[in-house]
Each structure stands twice: as C-alpha cells, then as structure tokens.
Chains A and B, each alone.
Chain A
Amino acid sequence: MNNLTTWINKRGLGSVAILALLLLVAFPLIFDIFRLNLIGKYLTYGFVALGLVMVWGYGGILSLGQGVFFGLGGYAMAMFLKLEASDPITTKIQSTPGIPDFMDWNQLTALPLWWKPFEHLPFALIAVVAVPTLLAFIISYAMFKRRVGGVYFAIITQAVALILTVLIIGQQGYTGGVNGMTDLKTLLGWDTRTDSAKYILYYLCTFLLLGSVLLCLWIQKSKLGTLLLAMRDKEDRVRFSGYDVASFKVFVFCLAAALSGIGGALFTLQVGFMSPSFVGIVPSIEMVIYAAVGGRMSLVGAVYGTLLVNFGKSYFSESFPDLWLFLMAGLFIGVTMAFPEGLAGVVEQKVKPWLRSRLAARKATATPPAGAMPATLRPLRADKTADPLPEGVGSQRA
C-alpha cells in the first residue's frame, strides 16, 4: 500500500485520481442526467484545454484557433450521424430523399462525392482524429519550418478560424451553413438521446478524457516534455544541441489538434448537433480562457478550469441574463491578474504548503520531534533529479 502511494505520488497521479473520483463517482451521484449531460458537454471542451496545456503551457505556442480542430472533429462525427439520420424513409418528403435535409433545401440532388466515405463509421472515427491532425500538420509545418512563432502564429491561427467559419457558413449546401448539422439521432441504430445513452456517453467521454490526461502526463514526463520546456525558455540552445525544433513544435501542435478533434466528436454525440458557433474566433479564445483559468501548466487544472468557467457561464447566464458576459469577463480578468498560474498555481503554491504545514504541526504535537528527523535529513541523491518536476506547476514560470 505504501509502495503504491509513493508510486502514485512520484508520477503526479494523485490529482488525476481525485479528478477521476469526482467525474466517475461524485458527479453522477450528485447531478441528474440533464446536468450530467451538460457536464459531459463541458468535458469535451476539456480535451481542447488539455491540448492547450501541452501546446501553450509546455510548448509556449499560443494558438487562438483550437476551435477549428474541435469543429473539424465534431463535423466529421456529425456527417456520419447526419447521413444515418437521413435515410430515404425519414426523408421521403424531400425532393431528393436520402440526402441530408440541408442539401435538399439548397437544391442539391445527390450526395457530394466527398460525403460518401462518411457513410462508414470506421472512416468517420478515423477522420475525427486524422482531419484535424492533418490540417494542424500543414499549418504548423509551414509556419514552424519558417520560424514563424509567437504572436504571428497566434494571428495565423485566428485567421484559420475565421476562414473556416466563413467557409462553413458560405457552403450551406454542403455543411448546413450557420445552423450546422442538427437532428442527429442515432449511432448505428442506437438512440443517443435517451437517458441511458447519455449516461454511457458521459462515461465514454470521461474515460477518454482521463486517458488523454494520462497520455499527456506521460509525454510531459518523457524527454519530449523536458525538451518542450527547454524550447520555450531557450529555443536556440535546443536547436544548437542538435534538435530540429520545428518538428517538436509540429508534433505538439498536432497532438493538441487530435485531442480537440476527439473532444469535438464527443460534443456532437452528447449534444446532438454541431454548428459553426464552436469553430470561430470567439469559442477559440474562450477555450484559451479555460486553460488560463485552470492553469496552463497543469493538465488536471485545465479540466477544472473548463468546468468552472462553464459552470460560471451557465450560472451567470441563468441568474443575470443581462450581466453575465461582464461577470465572465470579470472572472477571467480577476483570475489571471491575481493568479497568473491559474487555479493549479494557487493550489500548488498556497493550498498545498498550507496543508503541509498544518499536517506537520499536527505530527509535531503527536510524536516527539526526534521521530520525524530521518525523513528530513535524507541526503539529496543525484539520481533523484532524474524525475521531472513534480506536478509541473510549482517551480515553473512562463
């Protein structure tokens, strides 16, 4: 048991375990299915926030266009579901039965060729990850090989978000336009709108999210994670240590895009539609806010940040319909001003030391001080430092 606890602590898994308990046990017990489904929706943004921790927190690359990848993943899923919802019998009142309704409204008489592969679920699932990753690869390869970075890269990602929104809205017949793809009902005949389906999808989403946290944690603790931090601080030193800096940036940007795509697909499944309002500049910036509030160096923090901001959003918008945008802005400005490292930074620097001192004080009164000596006198061994930084928050300043 003791071994297990040290193993968990050493890998920074304690906070992941707490998050898992909260998401898998506490939330389903506390909330009804309507609220739980809402949380499931928020958690899909959590995938984007995780990607931002990797790409922005660790890689130092600010992307203001993550909605693009979230949207592409979501649309890939929605295309499959839409085709399934548009069988000839349900759509028999259309002038061309068997094609999605928005195509019919836009005088399309046949399914476009590039829609055809989305009739197959395996293809759609691969596209959920592959399409965002491929676009991310093209953008980031072109930019990073030319050493475009910082604010210029952020502007490019904004432009991509804008372009994609305009494209989706403009090509109504192929994309559903500004309304997006709606009335998604079943997945291989399984009705995704029932309560039981919503529970299953919530758990699917949570497991995938926790899996993504573990994957990112593993990457952070690998040499690649250390290199990302090194690159963020001294890019030239990394380059002149024999590394192709651009390839690492491309990798982490593609990783973030793939995660966002998965989040988008889960969004479509849980919410039942996908629209351009999750692709553009505003949602993309909102996603950066999640990571900033949670703490851009902390994976678990980013998930909490996502939940908190979205809870805040729905609470404020329900209670103060006129003021809620200002309250949200206030929350964001307040948090980033007071806690530049987000909630995770507060926990790491304020709460944990406080708990530790309380614990130590209690121990000191319970046992004679001599008993506690060996632990504090343990010599610092060289190989201890091989472990990457604990939790990734405390000692790092961006």
Chain B
Amino acid sequence: MSNTDFALAVEDLTVSFDGFKAIDSLTLYIDRNELRVIIGPNGAGKTTLLDLICGKTKASAGSIKFKNEELTRLDEHIRVRRGIGRKFQTPSIYENLSVFQNLEVSYPAGRSVFGALGFKCSDEVKARVQVVAEEIGLADALAMEAGLLSHGQKQWLEIGMLLMQEPELLMLDEPIAGMSARERELTAELLKRICKNRSVIVIEHDMEFVKQIAHKVTVMHQGKILAEGSMEAVQADPKVIDVYLGH
C-alpha cells in the first residue's frame, strides 16, 4: 500500500464473522481537519468500521493506515497513544467517579502502572480539565458524581474525556442519540469547534444534524461504500434514496 497525505487511509478492509462479511473490501480516506459523517441503514457496518479502526475488532484482511502507519497489528491502547480517540454509542463514562476524576483519568500522562502510582494532579492537569470542562459545558459540574449527570451531559463528558487526550482522529458513534433539540444544537456547535485541529468521523442517523456538521458524507450499505460526497450530492443519489433515505 502506498503512502498518502491522508490522516486515515483504509484500504481493502474486510472482516468476516463466521463467513458473514460485516465489512467487505472497503476503502475510505479521511483528510486532515476533515469532519466526515458516515450514514447508512442498520447493519451496514458503520460501528464495525469504527471498531476496526480503534482495534476493538481485528481485521480479517486489508490495511488501516493512520498518518502512514499501519495500525492493524497494534494493540488498542497503542492506537490510542498514536492519537485515535473513540466515543462509544452508549455513553461510556465512570459513573462512580466525579466529573473531575473522569477527565483527570483521561489526561494522557502516567499511563503505565508505575507512572500512575507517581502521577500528580499538577496545576497543568487542573488547568486542562478546566478548559475541557468549559468546552463541554460542564465546568459547574466538576464535583458531581458522573452517574448523576443527564444523558446529554454524559455524552458530552465522554467527548470531553477524549478531548483531554487531544486526539488527531476522533471517532464519535451517534453522539446525539437521545438528546433534546437544544442539546443537539449545542453538540453541533461543539463538534464544529473541536474539528478545527483534527479529523473527526461521526456516525449519525439524524439528517438535519448531518447537514449542519458534515464536510463530506459517506453512505455505507452491507459493509460497502454506496456513495460519498457532499450532503446534497448524496441525498440526490438514486442508489442512496433506494436503500436508505426512502422514496
């Protein structure tokens, strides 16, 4: 596989579960500083694709290159250290810890056993927590136990935990699921702000929301890419209308 200027280059990626190809020789390139939205019907393989990129699922064949480095054989935590952040579909936060601790634990220092033993919550860490907390609108809730946050706030907290690590590629799986209209607006603004210095991949179903944020849209269907391009172009594509958007 050749080297590219892309932040992420997925080429001929395949994964099969007992013969069923959830991802079928898929090729996808993500630019630096791009916000890409992936849409598609249920079972199209969107979440599986993110699982493959972050290492939760191992690829059967093909290549995933992040800044020209092959990822497929790296462990999950190594991929994270290379700069890949992943938000899960259901908010995945530490419910028993405070919001502050949730963010503090995500700070990328003291990641080894003995590093963690010697880790000091320095002013630098506190300042970073403060900045991120303000970014995600939880600066007033730092002392709160994370389990007591509303569903939308939990989603933001998880995004904040990823921002603590300053990832170069951020992958968000349905970030606005279960959010109110107001929360959706705030999330859209948040995503527009945070995609400035990094590439972002978002899986989403809400077309209004996709229109607001997407630079480019990829439509997946049965483990393959059905269409790719601007929102308008994709929406006008007869294949997409046929399998996904409906008549």
**B56 interface contact, C-beta 8 A:** yes
B residues near A245, Cβ cutoff 8 Å: 77
How far does the alpha carbon of A81 sit from the alpha carbon of B95 in the complex, in Å?
A: 50
Beyond contacts A237-B161, A389-B97: 9 other A-B pairs, Cβ-Cβ < 8 A, are A222-B117, A223-B119, A224-B119, A226-B105, A227-B105, A233-B94, A234-B94, A240-B88, A385-B99
Can you show 26 pairs from A to B with CB atoms below 8 A apart? A222-B117, A223-B116, A227-B116, A229-B94, A229-B97, A234-B92, A236-B56, A236-B88, A237-B88, A237-B92, A237-B94, A237-B161, A238-B105, A239-B76, A240-B54, A240-B80, A240-B86, A242-B80, A242-B111, A247-B112, A382-B100, A382-B126, A382-B142, A385-B142, A386-B126, A395-B96
List residues 73-94 of chain B with CB under 8 A from any CB of chain A: 75-77, 80-81, 85-86, 88, 92-94
**In the complex, what residue of chain A is closest to B146 when comparing beta carbons?**
A233
How far does the alpha carbon of A237 sit from the alpha carbon of B119 in the complex, in Å?
A: 20
Number of chain A residues whose Cβ lies closer than 8 Å to a Cβ of chain B? 34
B residues near A395, Cβ cutoff 8 Å: 96, 145
Known contacts A227-B105, A386-B104; is-contact A240 B76 (Cβ 8 Å): yes
**A396 interface contact, C-beta 8 A:** yes
Majority secondary structure, A binding face:
helix
**In the complex, what residue of chain A is closest to B86 when comparing beta carbons?**
A240
**B113 interface contact, C-beta 8 A:** yes
B residues near A163, Cβ cutoff 8 Å: none
Counting chain B residues whose Cβ lies within 8 A of the other chain, the interface size class is 35 or more
**A251 interface contact, C-beta 8 A:** yes
**In the complex, what residue of chain A is closest to B85 when comparing beta carbons?**
A240
**A12 interface contact, C-beta 8 A:** no
B residues near A244, Cβ cutoff 8 Å: 75, 77, 111-112
Closest 10 CB pairs of A and B: A242-B80, A385-B100, A223-B119, A224-B116, A385-B143, A223-B116, A230-B94, A237-B92, A251-B113, A385-B98
A383 lies within 8 A of B97 (CB): no
How far does the alpha carbon of A223 sit from the alpha carbon of B97 in the complex, in Å?
A: 12
B105 lies within 8 A of A248 (CB): no
A226 lies within 8 A of B101 (CB): yes
How far does the alpha carbon of A222 sit from the alpha carbon of B110 in the complex, in Å?
A: 11
**In the complex, what residue of chain A is closest to B103 when comparing beta carbons?**
A385
B105 lies within 8 A of A241 (CB): yes
B residues near A233, Cβ cutoff 8 Å: 94-96
**In the complex, what residue of chain B is closest to A397 when comparing beta carbons?**
B96
**B165 interface contact, C-beta 8 A:** yes
**In the complex, what residue of chain B is closest to A254 when comparing beta carbons?**
B113
A residues near B43, Cβ cutoff 8 Å: none
